[in-house]
Amino acid sequence: MLTKRQKMVVGVIESSIKNKGIPPTRAEIAEELAISSSNAVQDHLKALERKGVIKLTPKISRGIHLTHEK
């Protein structure tokens, strides 16, 4: 089960992929959701990966991949 904030992060990822064809950077997610810390974004992304919603590619700015299709 995802938290409200995690659902919002997934929404930003889905929107970026749909509209731009690429996943967002952590900074773009932070800006979109008014999160002041990129570390907080990273914590949300790690939690989403643990829950199987996304797959992260280490050391790649846009290395966020959804594990499901909408």
In terms of Cβ atoms closer than 10 Å to its own Cβ (0-12, 13-18, 19+), residue 60 is exposed
Side-chain half-sphere exposure of 18, counting CA atoms within 13 A: 8
Confidence (pLDDT) at 38 = 86
Torsion angles phi and psi, residue 69, rounded to 5: -110, 145
**Domains of the chain in sequence order:** 4-66 (1.10.10.10)
Torsion angles phi and psi, residue 64, rounded to 5: -120, 125
Q: What is the pTM of this model?
A: 0.92
pLDDT digits over 5-55, tens only? Answer: 999 999 999 999 999 999 999 999 999 999 998 899 999 999 999 999 999
d(CA 11, CA 2): 12
